[in-house]
């Protein structure tokens, strides 16, 4: 639906949430030639940026700060986008087709896109604003942690998910003593299952991380306005100078819920990313989307969803018949391990894991199967295979496990 730049469309599209997903949506409208008004609203002082560097390259010091931004700040005005930074939306009025701002003003919309993302889950009962307890979600969080890791003594990481492990790797790379505390028996156990999670436990142990697994935290020990230690349920006290909490995120659904939209651990949307209101859409971390290939609704908290979903939402808002059916994808970099994961497996939703390659050298692909069909694949220090993995998953055809494990059998001949 290319627009004639000499004829103004007349409609106003508003995006609430100026992160990667919001930036990709306004990009898509520009590429499609949309000539209406576009308003992008964000509550941070920075223009849209990408989050993976915050726990990877920028935190490690291999990427500079400017590299995190999706576009230079001037790009938005140059492309006709009304970017409202440091602006908070307080309410959505679906009947009046407007969003209300904290300063008392309102903005009319014809179509509205919610890319409000998520926020870190706070540790229960922990006082707010302790200067040496850190969460990592925003660029300013990464700025702070970057300075902390340059000067800190010991670092205690609570939670062995992706953020916790990436922060632990950055801290060890900075030669800081690191303890990771995790309630599950292995890092990433819920995500990867026991077979593959062991790889990450071994990786961090080999790099000197003190892994405390299968333990619960009773409370933080706070003295003189600072965290001094965490006390475990068995009475053990783990002291630290700096603490990082990475125990998951909470989708920012409050605006949607107050507006009467369907919400269920995210804003519920169909495969076109349309909410229960036909003029309101959602994309990225906050969206629980019906997935045509998987046959269920899922909410994906990773970069690829925020990068890819908005183009579909943008097209649907222009009136196209589109569906988002790309497989979930995420990646991590920790020490000398690089990994990509494609597909979707619920905890205990598989009956076999097939390894292809050398697990000991951490150069392999792991496949999760159910009833002989590939549900997901994780390539570790093996590259240019994501398309082949995606094809195996999408085919839905049974595969022979022995052939799948054989590195001499090309992946594109499987199934």
Question: Where in the chain are the domains?
Answer: 12-119+250-317, 122-247, 336-413
Beta bridge mates, 91: 100
Pairwise CA distance, residues 311 & 292, whole Å: 17
Structure confidence at residue 413 (pLDDT)? 87
Q: Could you name the CATH architecture of 12-119+250-317?
A: 3-Layer(bba) Sandwich (3.50)
Structure tokens belonging to residue 369: 């199967």
pTM above 0.85, yes or no: yes
Instruction: Please give the full DSSP string across 236-249, using - where no structure is assigned.
Output: -EEE-SEEEE-S-E
Pairwise CA distance, residues 64 & 45, whole Å: 18
pLDDT band at 2; cut points 50, 70, 90: very low
Of 149-153, 393-397, 404-408, the one with minimum mean pLDDT is 149-153
Structure tokens belonging to residue 296: 């269920």
Structure confidence at residue 1 (pLDDT)? 40
Contact present, 348 and 387 (Cβ < 8 Å): no
Instruction: Please give the full DSSP string across 22-45, using - where no structure is assigned.
Output: HHHHHHHHHHTT--SEEEEE-SSS
CATH topology of domain 336-413: Enolase-like; domain 1 (3.30.390)
Of the two residues 4 and 66, the one the predictor is more confident about is 66
Strands (E), 187-334: 210-213, 217-223, 226-232, 237-239, 242-245, 249-251, 267-269, 280-282, 287-291, 296-298, 329-334
Structure tokens belonging to residue 167: 């922060």
Q: Which residues contact 410 (CB under 8 A, 6 or more apart)?
A: none
Reported as a single tens digit per residue, the pLDDT across 294-332 is: 999 999 999 999 999 999 999 999 999 999 999 999 999
Contact present, 160 and 187 (Cβ < 8 Å): yes
pLDDT band at 81; cut points 50, 70, 90: very high
Structure confidence at residue 129 (pLDDT)? 87
Q: Reply yes or no on whether the pLDDT at 228 is more than 80.
A: yes
Mean pLDDT for the stretch of residues 131-159: 95
Mean pLDDT for the stretch of residues 122-138: 94
Reported as a single tens digit per residue, the pLDDT across 246-290 is: 999 999 999 999 999 999 999 999 999 999 999 999 999 999 999
Structure confidence at residue 415 (pLDDT)? 63
- 122-247 has the same fold as 12-119+250-317: yes
Pairwise CA distance, residues 71 & 134, whole Å: 27
Pairwise CA distance, residues 228 & 152, whole Å: 13
Backbone angles phi, psi at 271, to 5 degrees: -70, -15
- CATH H-level, domain 122-247: superfamily: FAD/NAD(P)-binding domain (3.50.50.60)
pLDDT band at 189; cut points 50, 70, 90: very high
Q: Reply yes or no on whether the pLDDT at 65 is more than 50.
A: yes
Tell me which residue of 160, 150, 161, 199 sits closest to 181, measured CA to CA.
Answer: 160
């Amino acid at each position: 639906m290319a627009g004639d730049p000499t004829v103004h469309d007349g409609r106003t599209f508003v995006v609430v949430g100026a992160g990667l997903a919001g930036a990709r949506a306004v990009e898509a409208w520009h590429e499609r030639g949309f000539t209406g008004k576009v308003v992008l609203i964000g509550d941070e002082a920075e223009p849209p940026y990408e989050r993976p560097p915050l726990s990877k390259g920028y935190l490690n010091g291999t990427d500079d700060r400017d590299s995190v931004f999706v576009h230079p700040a001037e790009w938005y005005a140059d492309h006709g986008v009304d970017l409202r930074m440091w602006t908070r939306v307080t309410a959505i009025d679906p009947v009046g087709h407007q969003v209300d701002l904290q300063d008392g003003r309102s903005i009319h919309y014809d179509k509205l896109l919610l890319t409000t993302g998520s926020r870190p889950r706070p540790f229960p009962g922990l006082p707010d604003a302790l200067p040496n307890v850190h969460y990592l979600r925003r660029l300013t969080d990464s700025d702070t942690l970057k300075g902390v890791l340059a000067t800190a003594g010991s670092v205690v990481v609570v939670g062995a998910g992706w953020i916790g492990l990436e922060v632990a790797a950055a801290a060890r790379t900075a030669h800081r003593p690191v303890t990771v505390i995790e309630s599950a028996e292995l890092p990433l156990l819920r995500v990867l299952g026991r077979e593959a999670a062991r790889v990450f436990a071994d990786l961090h142990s080999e790099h000197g991380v003190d892994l405390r697994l299968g333990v619960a935290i009773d409370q933080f020990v706070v003295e003189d306005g600072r965290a001094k230690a965490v006390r475990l349920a068995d009475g053990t006290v783990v002291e630290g100078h700096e603490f990082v909490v990475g125990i998951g995120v909470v989708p920012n659904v409050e605006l949607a819920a107050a507006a009467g939209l369907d919400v269920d651990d995210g804003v519920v949307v169909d495969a076109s990313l349309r909410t229960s209101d036909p003029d309101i859409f959602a994309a990225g971390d906050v969206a629980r989307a019906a997935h045509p290939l998987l046959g269920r609704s899922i909410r994906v908290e990773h970069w690829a969803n925020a990068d890819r979903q908005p183009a579909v939402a943008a097209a649907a808002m222009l009136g196209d018949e589109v569906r988002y059916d790309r497989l979930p994808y995420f990646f991590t970099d920790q020490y000398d391990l690089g990994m990509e994961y494609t597909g979707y497996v619920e905890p205990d939703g598989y009956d076999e894991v097939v390894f292809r390659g050398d697990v000991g050298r951490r150069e392999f692909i792991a496949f999760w199967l159910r009833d002989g069909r590939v549900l997901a694949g994780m390539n570790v220090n093996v590259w240019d295979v994501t398309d082949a993995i995606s094809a195996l998953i999408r085919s839905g055809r049974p595969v022979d496990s022995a052939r799948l494990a054989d590195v001499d059998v090309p992946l594109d001949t499987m199934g």
